[in-house]
Chain A
C-alpha cells in the first residue's frame, strides 16, 4: 500500500474531524449531550439497512452534484449553477415520469433519465457558450440562471404541471415504470452514481478529452499553443457539468421523491460545491465526501427528536469543514502541521477575466 496516495486525504479528513469537534462543543454549550448527538447520527444514518439506505439516498444526488462541480473546476470553470441544472433535471424527468405512462420500464426509465440529462445540460451549455464566445463570466450567468430556474420550476409545479385537485404545488406522482427501486438492498440511484463516478474518473484521468479539459483549466494559453480549442472545451465542460447535475436531479425525482416538489431539492447543487472542495477536486474522493454529508443530512430529524439538538448544527459542521479545507493555512496552524505537505493546495477558481 502506497501511503503517499493517501496524502491528499489528510487535509480534508483533518478538517472533518476538527469540524465535528467544534460541532460537539457547540452542542455541549447549548446544554445537550454530544454523545447523544453522536448516537442520534449513528442510529439515523448507519444502524441498520433502512438507515444505511436513507444515507445512500441522501448521498446519491450529492455525488452527481459534486462530480458536476469537479468537471467544471478541472476546466477552470466555476459552475455555481449546479443547483439550477439539478432542478431542471428533476422537474423534466418527473414530468416525463408521470406524463408518458404506459411505456415499458425498459424504455420509460432510461428515457426519463435521458430527459433529465439533456435538459440539465441546456442551461449549462448556454453559460458555456456565453463564456466561450462573448467572454461573459460563467459565475454571473449561472447565478442569474439559477434565479430564473427557481422561479420557473415553482411556476410549473404550481401551474401547468401541478397535480390536479391538490392544494400543494407539486407534480403528480411518477408512475411505476419510471421509478428507480433497489437492487440487492442498494438504491439503484446510488449504484448509478458509483458507475458514473468511475466513468468521470476514467474520462478525466485516462482520456485525451480529459487531458484537453485539464490543460484548458491549468493554462489556457498553453492549451491554445498546443492546438486545443479553448472555446470548444469550455462549452463541452460546462455542458457535461450540467448533464451530471441534471442526472442527479432526475435520480432524486425518480428514485427518492417520486415526483417533483419544490423545496425537496433545495441546496443539493450547493452541497456539490462543498463536496468538490472536500474531495479536493478528485472524483475518487467524491463518494466518501457525499456519504459524509449524506449521513449528516439523513440524521437531521433524529438529531432533533432523539437528541434535542437543532438540526442547524449539521450546516455549522459542514460550514466549518468547508472553511478549513478552503483555508488550509488556518488548519495547518490549528493542527501545527508542517507547511505545504502537498505540492499544491486546491485552487478552486481563478480571478476575473484571467
Chain B
C-alpha cells in the first residue's frame, strides 16, 4: 500500500488544493489541501462542525467552492452535480442509505443505469453484473434478495456495489460505521481493505479513533475548517489524534473510583414488551440496578434494548412482568409521573425523542419541566425564569450555542446531545437511563458526557447504560449485563470481563 512507495505525486487520484467555502460570515472550510492515492484508505477525522461534510459536498458537486481547486487524475475539474462527480469516478456512500426497500439488490444497484434488452429491463444481465462486481471486489451479496429483508451491514454493501457499478474509483464513506454492530464494523473494515487492494481510493469519514487506527493508511485531521494534521496512521496513536481533533489533550480513559453500590433502585422481573410491530422483543427479562453503580447493557442491536428502555420509562406498555422503582411498583404510571419520581432518561435517538429541532435551545432545556415552577405559574410560562435556567445549564454543561435563542437543530450533534444531558442530569434523580449517550458525538463531548455519567453515579444515582460501543461499556460500567433475544444472558463484573467473553455471549456462542 501507499506507505511503501514514497514518491510524491505518484498515483495521486484526487488532489484538493486550497479549497475554501464560506456560508455568510462562517468559514466552513479554509484552504483545505489533501491528496488521495490509488489504493489508499484515507481517514478524514474531525469533530462535528469541523468541515468534513462541507468538504464532501464540494467533492461530490453538491456545493461549489469559493476558492481552491479539485484535481482528479491531475486535471482540474469543476463539479456541478453528483452526476458530474460520478462521471469523474467519485461516489459517496451516505450515512442514510439511498436504497429502494422493496426492490432487489440487483435492481437497486443498476437503478438509473439499467441494462436493457430490446428496450426492456434485463433482469438477468443486472443480476450477472452485480455478481461479477461482488466477485471482483470480494463483496458477498445475493443479487435477488429484497433490500428491506437485509441487515444494515448488508444494505451498506449494496450501496458500495452501487457506487462501483457506476465506475467509482474514489469512494467516500460518510461515517459508515455509525449504524453498524461491532461485528459488522469489523466486516466493513475488511471490505475497505480489500477494495483498496484492488486500486480503489477511499476516504473514510469517522470520529471513532479505533477504526482509524485499525483500518486506514493515512489520516487527515480537520479542526474549525482547517487541516491540522496529515500523518501516516502508523506514525500516530489514538491520544495524538484525539488531541489534534479537539485542540487539547483528551482523556480517553475514564478516571473513576471503585463503585460503592447501595440499595437496589430498579428491580425488573419477568418483563415482556412488544416491539412496534407487535412482536415480543423483551421476553421475560430480569435485571437489578443499584444506587451508585453503572450497569452497562451489551448486546447486538435489536435484541430488545430499545423496548426495555422505553418500558422502564413508561413510553411503551408492558405485556407482563414487574418493574419496581425504589420499592414501588410503577405499573400504570405515565412518563411524567416517573419523571417526577426521579427517572431521568437520555433517549437513544436525540433528534426523534430527545429534542424538538425547531425549538430554541432554552425550550429544549425545559422540555419535560415546562409546566412546573418556576418555568410556569398558573399555566402561564415564565420566559425570564426559563432563560435564566438555560443560561446556567449552557454554562455548566459547556453547550456551544450562539445564544439560548438559537434553533436547536442548528447545533452540532455533540452540542445537541449536551442539551439533552444537561436537561436530564440537572435535577435530582434516583435512576438515570442513558441509551447510546454518545452516539454520533465528537470526542471532546464524549469525554465530557462520560465524566457526567460517572459523576451521577458518584452522587448515588443508579445508572442504566445501554450502548452499542463495547469500549464505552467497558470504560464506564461497574457491571455488564449481556442482553440476547430479549433476555439477560449473563451479568459480568466489568473488571474481570473481557471484550472477547462479552462478544461471544452477545453472539450466543458461549453456553449461557
- A residues with CB within 8 A of B: 206-209, 211-212, 215, 218-219, 221-222, 224-227, 229, 343-344
Contacts and interface: CB of A to CB of B under 8 A. Distances in A.
Contacts of B379: 207-209
B347 to A, nearest CB: 6
A208 B376 contact: yes
Interface stretch (B40-48, B152-160, B241-249, B351-359): B351-359
B371 interface: yes
Interface in B333-389: 334-336, 339, 345, 347, 352-359, 363, 367-368, 370-371, 376, 379-381
A225 B376 contact: no
A207 B315 contact: no
A209 B378 CA distance: 11
Given A206-B380, A211-B381, A219-B356, A225 B315 contact: yes
Interface centre among A221, A222, A224, A229 (most CB of B within 10 A): A222
A190 B347 CA distance: 48
B367 A344 contact: no
Nearest to A215: B356
A212 B336 CA distance: 13
Given A227-B335, A227-B339, A222 B380 contact: no
A12 to B, nearest CB: 20
Nearest to B407: A343
Contacts of A343: 407
Contacts of A225: 315, 335, 345, 347, 353-354, 367-368
B367 A226 contact: yes
Contacts of A219: 352, 355-358
B371 A224 contact: no
Contacts of B381: 206-208, 211
5 contacts: A221-B352, A222-B353, A226-B335, A227-B334, A229-B334
Nearest to A207: B379
Interface string B282-325: 00000000000000000000000000000000010000000000
The 4 A-B residue pairs with the shortest CB-CB distance in the complex, in nearest-first order: A227-B336, A227-B335, A226-B368, A225-B353
A221 B306 CA distance: 14
Contacts of B336: 227
Contacts of B370: 208, 211, 226
B380 A207 contact: yes
B355 A344 contact: no
Nearest to A203: B379
A202 to B, nearest CB: 9
B interface, size bucket: 20 to 34
Given A207-B380, A225-B368, A344 B358 contact: yes
A206 B376 CA distance: 9
A129 to B, nearest CB: 19
Nearest to A224: B315
Contacts of B347: 225
Contacts of A208: 370-371, 376, 379-381
B385 to A, nearest CB: 13
Nearest to A229: B334
B105 to A, nearest CB: 27
A15 B436 CA distance: 46
B24 to A, nearest CB: 10
Nearest to B363: A211
A172 to B, nearest CB: 42
B354 A222 contact: yes
A224 B335 contact: yes
Nearest to B358: A218
Given A208-B370, A215-B359, A222-B356, 6 more contacts: A206-B381, A215-B367, A218-B359, A219-B358, A225-B345, A343-B407
Contacts of A344: 358
A33 B371 CA distance: 58
Contacts of B368: 225-227
B342 to A, nearest CB: 14
A218 B356 contact: yes
Contacts of B315: 224-225
Q: Which of A221, A227, A343 has the most CB of B within 10 A?
A: A227
Contacts of B357: 218-219
A177 to B, nearest CB: 35
A229 B356 CA distance: 16
B475 to A, nearest CB: 27
B22 to A, nearest CB: 15
Contact of B352 (A209, A215, A222, A227): A222
A222 B358 contact: no
Contacts of B355: 219, 222
Q: Which of B334, B339, B347, B370 has the most CB of A within 10 A?
A: B370
A135 B381 CA distance: 31
A221 B353 contact: yes
A219 B407 CA distance: 14
B109 to A, nearest CB: 28
Nearest to B335: A227
Contacts of B335: 224-227
Contacts of A209: 379
A219 B357 CA distance: 8
Given A206-B381, A207-B380, A209-B379, A222 B371 contact: no
Nearest to A216: B356
B461 to A, nearest CB: 19
Contacts of A229: 334
Nearest to B370: A211
Contacts of A218: 356-359
Interface centre among A209, A211, A219, A225 (most CB of B within 10 A): A225
Contact of A222 (B339, B367, B407): B367
A38 to B, nearest CB: 40
A226 B354 CA distance: 8
Nearest to B353: A225
B479 to A, nearest CB: 27
Nearest to B334: A227
A90 to B, nearest CB: 31
A227 B347 CA distance: 13
Contacts of B371: 208, 211-212
Contacts of A212: 371
B343 to A, nearest CB: 11
Nearest to B376: A208
A212 B359 CA distance: 13
Nearest to A225: B353
Contacts of B380: 206-208
A226 B340 CA distance: 12
A229 B368 CA distance: 12
A239 to B, nearest CB: 18
Contacts of A226: 335, 367-368, 370
Contacts of B376: 208
A343 B405 CA distance: 13
B406 to A, nearest CB: 10
A212 B352 CA distance: 17
Contacts of B334: 227, 229
A225 B353 CA distance: 6
Nearest to B409: A343
A348 B150 CA distance: 35
A225 B356 CA distance: 11
